Amino acid sequence: MPASFGYLLAYATSIKSNANWFAAAGTARGYIPGLIKPVFDVGESLMHVLQNDAESGNSLNIMVNPIYNAGTYGYRIWGNRVVNKTSAVLADRYMNFLNVRMLLCDIKKQIYHTAMRCTFEPNDDIVWINFKTLANSLLDRMKSGRGISWYKWTKEVAEQKATIKATLTIQPIEAVESFDINIILTDDEATIEEVV
- What digits encode the pLDDT tens for the residues 72-109? 999 999 999 887 665 555 556 777 889 999 999 999 99
pTM for the structure as a whole: 0.82
Give the mean model confidence (pLDDT) for residues 151-178. Answer: 94
Same domain, 11 and 88: yes
**Within a domain: residue 117?**
yes
The reported pLDDT for the residue numbered 54 is: 65
pLDDT at site 59: 63
Q: What is the mean pLDDT of residues 43-52?
A: 83
Whether 83 and 15 share a structural domain: yes
Are residue 142 and residue 160 in the same domain, yes or no? yes
pLDDT for residue 195 is more than 90 = no
Q: Indicate the residue among 51, 67, 93 that finishes a domain.
A: 93
Domain annotation covers residue 188: no
Cα 196 from chain centre: 26
The answer on 86 and 8 residing in a single domain is: yes
What is the mean predicted confidence (pLDDT) over 103-123? Answer: 97
Domain membership flag for residue 177: no
Confidence band for 31, pLDDT divided at 50, 70 and 90? very high
pLDDT at 96: 83
**How far is 172 from 57, CA to CA, in rounded Å?**
28
What's the rounded Cα separation, in Å, for the pair 11 and 87? 27
Q: Is 145 part of a structural domain of the chain?
A: yes
| Same domain for 7 and 73 | yes
pLDDT of residue 93: 75
Domain limit, last residue, from 93, 120, 146 = 93
Q: In this structure, are 88 and 9 located in the same domain? A: yes
Name the residue range of residue 127's domain: 99-172
| 14 and 77 inside one domain | yes
User: Does 88 share its domain with 146?
Assistant: no
pLDDT, tens only, 50-72: 877 766 566 667 788 899 999 99
What is the predicted pLDDT for the residue at 190?
62
The predicted model gives 27-34 an average pLDDT of: 95
Is the per-residue pLDDT at 118 higher than 60? yes
Q: DSSP code of 175?
A: P
**150 & 103 share domain:** yes
Q: Label the pairing between strands 75-77 and 148-156.
A: unpaired
Residues 58 and 122 in one domain: no
Top pLDDT among 161 and 86 is at 161
DSSP 8-state symbol, 136: H
* Tally of structural domains, the chain: 2
Quick one: 16 and 80 in the same domain? yes
